[in-house]
Chain A
Amino acid sequence: MPVIETEGLTKYYGKSRGIESLDLAVNGGEIFGFLGPNGAGKTTTIRTLLGLINPTSGRATVFGLDIVSDSVAIRGRTGYIPGDTNFYPKMTGAETLAYFAAFRPKTPPVMRDDLVRRFDLDLSKRCKDYSRGNRQKLAIVLALMHDPDLLVLDEPTLGLDPIMQKEFYDLLNDFRHRGKTVLLSSHILSDVDKTCERVGIIKAGRLVAVENVSELESKKVHHISAMFSDSFEVREFSLPGVTVIRHNEHSLELKAKGEIDPVIKALAAHKIVDLDFEHASLEEVFLEFYGEAGE
């Protein structure tokens, strides 16, 4: 049975669209990625599920409970990490955790100390003195300390340094292995690559696809720039999924979609002086594969 299930979930802010007829199912024990460009409706979906905003139409359940009438019970079993959290500036980290822990008397903050240690968080500071990264760590501790059954994450690694990002994704994997469920919203493809089994892709308020991450991997777009000491023929790079963007006698810029092994082999046939290799932005992937679906 899905932990999260939406049917025709729609939210309009006046005349402007938030999400439209969203049908989504997140199974128990999985980390489900929720991908889409900024403004696609990811945050609206999450805030609707958490009862922060009211749906215009459609219905949704979490743990089989209705998100409107049973919102308090749902939130009692859910942890939420937004992309940027504002705390009460005069409270210390410790006071903040104690204040929010008191709202859940039946589920003590069993993971609090372990999380604080893991994220190396100084709880004696006032929240106004925390850097953005430390505010994010405090938000992570706050969301996870009660060991909730469901984690809802909206761009959770913004502000975290790479070491803490890794720590966070390790934590998510531990969480999943204990049978818990995660809904991870992000517009950063690499965030999703590391952790999710399945992803839902949202564009212009509509869910345009639900994919296994391995399928999405094969759809990745790469930008490659190479400089050679020798000359080359452009036709050497006339490969499936490859588009040459520009070239001259010694340099080449191309876009490769899907399998990149043939491209690497073609490049390796020449003496390479310099090479740039980067993933295309998620937005490009969308434009490449879902350009028409969400229009």
Chain B
Amino acid sequence: MRFLNLYWRTIKDRLLSWPTIAASVILYILLVIGIYPSFAGNPAFKAILESYPKAILSLLAGGGGGLTLLSPEGFFSIEFLQLWGMIIVAGFIMATATAIVAKEVDGHTMDLLLTQPIDRVEYLTARVAADLTMVLGLVVTIMGSAWTGTKLFDFPLKTDGLIAAGVLLFSLYVLMEAFCLLMGVVMERGRAVIVSVAALIASHLLNALADFNKTIEGWRWLSIFHYYQPGEALITGQVPWPVVLLFSSLAVVLFTAAVVIFREKDIPA
């Protein structure tokens, strides 16, 4: 009962932001998929793309190896799954996950909640479960929009590829949720958001720049984007289970750390 009360309250709180983001995602995906056929076979576009410095292409692809904007898988992966999908949905996750503890503490509403008969672990679990439900909804919306795009336009993506990339994407979002939650537990909300954004950008840059610098390349393993390669999943239709397992395990570790710290946390007056 207490779990469900917290769960549904969290869902209700997101009833304005979630549909807005979902609608933006649908419209953006259909737009990019819709315009794809107009330039995919265009030799001029191919020439422009080939004239770009390798570093720029690598940055765009997030160090995505041999992906090219000229294939549907490469285009969808680079344009959305590694760029706009990351920015839009990661923004939602950062805003919501850091709010679970930090916003309630900063706004002094945590006092009210924790003077009710609510266990702190139950509180975190219910709120995270609600957020992940909404994130799962966004992943389904992303992949559903892409699948619809393949039916409406000349954009051949395999259904099993979309499912495999969706599983990978969701596992990455779960990891982000756990990281942002932990930041929200250990620091005030403004800082938690800044640290989360900085960590995401640093991770992207580390992976992208590793192609050009031997020293950085040695640290590439630290970047989540080194493991997150949705283009490959789109092409092969295979879920990269070792990566999904790695992201899930890291998420469990971060969530456990958040629980342990939150249980000991003093709620300031």
Contact = CB atoms under 8 A, between A and B. Distances in A.
A47 B267 contact: yes
Contact of A54 (B111, B112, B264): B264
The secondary-structure label for the interface of chain A is loop
**Is the interface on chain A under 10, 10 to 19, 20 to 34, or 35 or more residues?**
20 to 34
A271 interface: no
A53 B266 contact: yes
Contacts of B2: 102-103, 105
A85 B117 CA distance: 18
A87 B112 contact: yes
B5 A99 contact: yes
Contacts of A88: 109
Interface in B220-269: 264, 266-267, 269
B198 interface: no
B152 interface: no
Contacts of B119: 72
Given A86-B107, A86-B108, A102 B1 contact: yes
B112 A85 contact: yes
A104 B112 contact: no
Interface string B106-122: 01110110111111000
A105 B118 CA distance: 12
B46 interface: no
Given A13-B266, A99-B9, A76 B111 contact: no
Contact of A52 (B1, B111, B117): B111
Interface string A34-69: 000000000100010011111000000000000000
A82 B111 contact: yes
A73 B115 contact: no
Contacts of B117: 72-73, 75-76, 103-104
Given A54-B264, A99-B9, A105-B1, A43 B269 contact: yes
A289 interface: no
Interface of B: 1-2, 5, 9, 107-109, 111-112, 114-119, 264, 266-267, 269
In the A-B complex, list the 10 residue pairs whose CB atoms are closest, starting with the nearest. Answer: A76-B117, A53-B266, A86-B108, A103-B116, A102-B5, A80-B115, A52-B267, A75-B117, A105-B1, A72-B117
21 contacts: A43-B269, A47-B267, A47-B269, A51-B114, A52-B115, A54-B264, A72-B117, A75-B117, A76-B117, A85-B108, A85-B111, A86-B108, A86-B109, A86-B112, A99-B9, A102-B2, A103-B1, A103-B117, A103-B118, A105-B1, A142-B112
Interface of A: 13, 43, 47, 50-54, 72-73, 75-76, 78, 80, 82, 85-88, 99-100, 102-105, 142
